[in-house]
Structure 1
Amino acid sequence: MPKARETVLEIDLNALAHNYKYLRSKVAKDVKLMAVVKAFGYGSDVVGIAKKLTELGADYLAVAYTAEGAALRKAGIELPIMVLHPQSFNFEELIENCLEPSLYSEFVLKEFIETAEKLKQKHYPAHIKFNTGLNRLGFSEAETDVVKNLLTGTTAVKAKSFFSHLAASEDWREREFTLNQIHTFKRIAIKLYEELGYRPMLHICNTSGIINYPEAAFDMVRTGIGLYGFGNEEAEDNKLKPIGTLKTIISQIHQINKGDSVGYNRAFKAEKPTKTATLPIGHADGINRQYGNRRAGVLINGQYAPIIGNVCMDMLMVDITGIDCEEGDEVIIFGGPQHATKFAEKGNTISYELITGISQRVKRRLIE
């Protein structure tokens, strides 16, 4: 693989295929798989990821907002796409792009029915979300009659699925809570099956749900973070392959005298002669100030170089004392031997926030 000559996020599509096949193997062959590609494919390259997932056999894609789905349609992606958090203002655009909304409240369900009727739709597919304990979005169990009455009162919209979201499927200490969510969801579905007279698909499992509660796979499972190589616990991380490696280069090397300072606010002061390297990446690229002042570090020629001083908007500085390197050498921020989960932990955050926060000004390179 060629060495980096600039700041770049390399995206390994073979690793994506490995993760897809691993997660797919956890559920029965007749269970559909919805691949979540919101937030630019969890900070990667959403079009490249979507095309690879189509090739791998994914049944559905999911995005957060209508504009994300519309961009995938513009790029030629034809798989069914669910929009997890649509706003009523965008419903016409959603229908024009053949996207399928998650409808989670009486207001949005009424608004969507009104839009679908205005556009003369017939049985337009929609996904009805129920709140079973996450308390973020979704109809409550007490609102099943509202759902039934609105759906039976129109021919413009038809439920394609009922779904919910597990709140703590990765935490075995919350097993009782998770099982109660699953049982509540079953109870809601059974009631609505009888009242609607047809059977929409059911799905509740996220990545950790697939791994820890495969018996709750129902008709479809949803996976996001797992596809990108993170399993929410170390044992599963070891079975998955992170798809992203963030690289940069050394822009300049400095010899810092004892007593001299580095960076804004003189946050680093040399207690002895120190050799530093300046890298062309900063908090505007997603490597935030929380990683500065030796909390995290990078790899240069296989050796650890701590970040010193405050991270700047477009640059950061590292201590390379004792490391054999020169200007132009490749630097690994995370990926490969520098696992993104471990890097994120040093900044007191999680892999989700780190990888989705990599700025779109960082070049993406697909590797297969």
Structure 2
Amino acid sequence: MHAAGALLTIDLQAIRANWRMLQARVGSAECAAVVKADAYGLGAAQVAPALAAEGCRRFFVAHLDEGIAVRPGLPQDATVCVLHGPPPGAEGEFVAHGLVPVLNSRAQVDAWRALAHRHDRELSAVVQVDTGMARLGLSPVELRALAGDAGALRGVRVACVMSHLACAEQPEHPANEAQRGRFIAARRCLPAAPASFANSCGIFLGGGYHFDLVRPGAALYGIAPIAAAPNPMRPVVRLQGRVVQMRSIEPGTPVGYGHAWRCERPARIATVSVGYADGWLRAIGESSAAAWVGDVALPLVGRVSMDTITLDASALPEGALVPGALVDLIGDRQDVDAVAARAGTIGYEILTALGSRYARRYLADVAAP
């Protein structure tokens, strides 16, 4: 830890508490966990077993390789669903590794049915329908054709029917209810099966969106599920950057690339070992973001570079910050969503961009069941 340029602390107990809160909110519906993109950058190998220990038994990843990586760390009775479905020719890998595909197109349905025929047994799958996002899932045309073909799903056990909300972070958006109506209609075209519609934000739209299974991702990791509303989730991440060097500069001295910032008074500058190679986005502009030392904010001055940022530490007493000290970049004073707002992006991008150079510390780590 002492040798790293920065320290990323991930609170597994907070992730577990967030899952418990979401499960309680959806009542009799099952609460799954989305652990794609390495659990939103926080480490699926640690996060997924922690959630399994809490009682979660259904996990979603995006890619086949992600499913192969996460499956061995989970209990035998857990289910791992792959959102992008089988890449052409890779259907057999799902059977070999005990993974369930999400079938998004007629081509994927046909390939999975053919595999079931070759194995001479039913194979489970989730079927996704597009209800208004035009991204993944059977289109209305494909769905009608599938419903009209009595043999289209022969050998396929439809374990779940799902869709995805496009505007759930905006509770009043009319697309939410329009999509819900389309989803209800689409289910009538498919074999009777449990239904899944709500992501993190969708959970907070109310019970009419919960159906049988909800699929939170971002909310598990502390991101606010509803824009411009108080965040009910526990914070999960603390990011601390290490001071490399301190220097005193005179008025008019430029700092950083392009001389984009000049001090107007004598200042003490702290160079901190975090940059855009670590996911501290270059879009976080001069003086628009702060690090913290206790209750004292240190403005970012000069441009974010690949390996470093520079902070105006003049508000601290001289000698209070020295090389090797840590400053808070994400924490109690500035959460992931606040950093995202300063960068003109969303918390999802901040978390998934966190790089591999951080020393990582997991709080309340749990062994795989």
Counterpart position of 2:367: none
Residues 298-337 of structure 1 deviation map (CA, whole Å, 9 limit, x = unaligned):
1123311111111111111111012132222221111222
The structural deviation recorded for 1:289 is 0.8
The structural deviation recorded for 1:295 is 1.9
Q: Which runs of 5+ in 2 are unaligned?
A: 365-369
Contact 1:4 1:248 in 2 (8 A): no
SS in 1 for 2:126: strand
One-letter amino acid of the counterpart of residue 304, structure 1: A
Contact 1:4 1:247 in 2 (8 A): no
Counterpart position of 2:356: 360
> C-alpha root-mean-square deviation of aligned residues, in Å?
2.2
Counterpart position of 1:35: 33
Residues 321-361 of structure 1 deviation map (CA, whole Å, 9 limit, x = unaligned):
12132222221111222111111101111111111110123
- Give the 5 Å matches for 1:78-227: 78=76, 79-86=78-85, 87-118=87-118, 120=119, 122-148=121-147, 152-153=151-152, 155-174=154-173, 176-193=174-191, 199-227=192-220
Correspondence for 2:53 among 52, 55, 58: 55
TM-score, normalization: structure 1? 0.91
Contact 2:243 2:324 in 1 (8 A): yes
Q: 1:212 & 1:226 partners in 2: Cα distance?
A: 14
TM-score, normalization: structure 2? 0.91
Counterpart position of 2:235: 242
Q: 2:126 & 2:289 partners in 1: Cα distance?
A: 42
One-letter amino acid of the counterpart of residue 340, structure 1: V
Runs of 4+ in 1 over 6 A off after TM superposition: 2-5
The structural deviation recorded for 1:150 is 6.4
Contact 2:298 2:315 in 1 (8 A): no
The structural deviation recorded for 1:268 is 2.1
Q: Which runs of 5+ in 1 are unaligned?
A: 194-198
Correspondence for 2:337 among 336, 341, 348: 341
Q: 1:302 & 1:77 partners in 2: Cα distance?
A: 43
Counterpart position of 1:196: none
Contact 2:170 2:227 in 1 (8 A): no
- Give the 5 Å matches for 1:72-83: 72-76=70-74, 78=76, 79-83=78-82
Q: 1:349 & 1:365 partners in 2: Cα distance?
A: 26
The 1:350–1:245 alpha-carbon spacing in structure 2 relative to 1, beyond 3 Å, is same
The structural deviation recorded for 1:114 is 3.1
**2:264 corresponds to 1:266:** no
The 1:22–1:117 alpha-carbon spacing in structure 2 relative to 1, beyond 3 Å, is same
Q: 2:189 & 2:221 partners in 1: Cα distance?
A: 36
One-letter amino acid of the counterpart of residue 257, structure 1: E
One-letter amino acid of the counterpart of residue 106, structure 1: R
Contact 1:134 1:166 in 2 (8 A): yes
The 1:359–1:71 alpha-carbon spacing in structure 2 relative to 1, beyond 3 Å, is same
SS in 1 for 2:81: strand
One-letter amino acid of the counterpart of residue 97, structure 2: N
Q: 2:70 & 2:99 partners in 1: Cα distance?
A: 10
The structural deviation recorded for 1:236 is 5.8
- Across the two proteins, how many residue pairs are aligned to each other? 359
The 1:256–1:162 alpha-carbon spacing in structure 2 relative to 1, beyond 3 Å, is same
Q: 1:360 & 1:149 partners in 2: Cα distance?
A: 49
Q: 1:88 & 1:150 partners in 2: Cα distance?
A: 22
* Structure (1 or 2) with the greater helix fraction: 1
Correspondence for 1:296 among 285, 289, 298: 289
SS in 2 for 1:88: coil
The 1:37–1:83 alpha-carbon spacing in structure 2 relative to 1, beyond 3 Å, is same
The 1:151–1:5 alpha-carbon spacing in structure 2 relative to 1, beyond 3 Å, is farther
